[in-house]
């Protein structure tokens, strides 16, 4: 004689069907895929925002220096010099040592001298950010570039290429971006340019 017992389903609790499990796994996979694209983009956008903030601070510090001392924070011989297109760039792609000195001057270093003149005799700290060697790096590790209208011509050109309209500002600053190279100024408004500009 066989005894058949009916198993009560009440003790087993609710269960997921195979279809429900596949739907949940698909949703998790989709979210993981989206986050792998969105997170790096968000991080890059954050770096660009930080660079833009640093550039704004640099421009403000240079203008504050001129207000404090009545001259640009450069050697006297460079005040009227605009003969070649890189004559007043401080930092990459040309005069990296000049860029370091500029950042040291703006951050209150009293020891920097140019042509026998102490450049910040009061030790006024106008800029936070440069390291102890005077290097102020962007989020990608490259020194910021700064250009000033040292001959008071009424404006500046980006890298002096002649292809860009005069910006009508007295100080500009640039980060060379993720690829660490100067972009073609004609492409600066396209998606391929990763440079960050103080004036945009």
Six-digit token pair at 185?
């100024």
Six-digit token pair at 190?
């396209």
Strand order across the beta sheet in which 171-175 lies: 89-90, 145-148, 171-175, 196-197
pLDDT at position 187 is 53
Six-digit token pair at 151?
């001959």
pLDDT at position 137 is 92
Largest CA distance in the chain: 115
pLDDT at position 121 is 93
pLDDT in tens, 35-92: 777 788 889 999 999 999 999 999 999 999 999 999 999 887 776 554 444 456 787 7
151 with 81: CB under 8 angstroms? yes
CB under 8 Å to 72, separation ≥6 — which residues?
A: 62, 65, 66, 79, 148, 150
99 with 146: CB under 8 angstroms? yes
Six-digit token pair at 60?
């403000």
Q: d(Cα 60, Cα 56) in Å, to the nearest integer?
A: 6
pLDDT at position 105 is 92
Listed as ranges, residues in the chain with pLDDT below 50 are: 82-86, 188-189
pLDDT at position 157 is 76
pLDDT at position 133 is 78
Q: Prior bond to 93 cis, omega within 30?
A: yes
Q: d(Cα 108, Cα 110) in Å, to the nearest integer?
A: 6
Question: Virtual CA dihedral for 46, 49, 51, 56, nearest 10 degrees?
Answer: -160
Q: d(Cα 21, Cα 3) in Å, to the nearest integer?
A: 36
pLDDT at position 159 is 62
Q: d(Cα 73, Cα 45) in Å, to the nearest integer?
A: 32
Supply the pTM of this predicted model. Answer: 0.76
């Amino acid at each position: 004689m066989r005894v058949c017992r009916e198993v009560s389903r009440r003790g087993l609790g609710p269960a997921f069907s195979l279809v429900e499990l596949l739907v949940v796994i698909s949703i998790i996979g989709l979210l993981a895929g989206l986050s792998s694209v969105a997170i790096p983009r968000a991080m890059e956008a954050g770096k660009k925002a930080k660079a833009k903030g640093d550039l704004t601070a640099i421009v403000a510090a240079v203008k504050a220096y001129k207000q404090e001392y009545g001259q640009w924070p450069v050697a006297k011989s460079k005040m009227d010099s605009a003969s070649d297109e890189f004559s007043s760039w401080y930092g990459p792609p040309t005069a990296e040592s000049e860029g370091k000195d500029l950042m040291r001057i703006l951050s209150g270093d009293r020891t920097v001298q140019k042509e026998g003149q102490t450049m910040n005799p009061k030790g006024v700290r106008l800029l936070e950010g440069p390291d102890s060697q005077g290097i102020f790096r962007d989020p990608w590790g490259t020194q910021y570039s700064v250009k000033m209208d040292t001959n008071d011509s009424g404006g500046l050109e980006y890298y002096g290429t002649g292809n860009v309209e005069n910006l009508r500002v007295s100080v500009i600053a640039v980060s060379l971006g993720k690829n660490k190279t100067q972009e073609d100024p004609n492409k600066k408004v396209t998606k391929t340019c990763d440079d960050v500009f103080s004036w945009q």
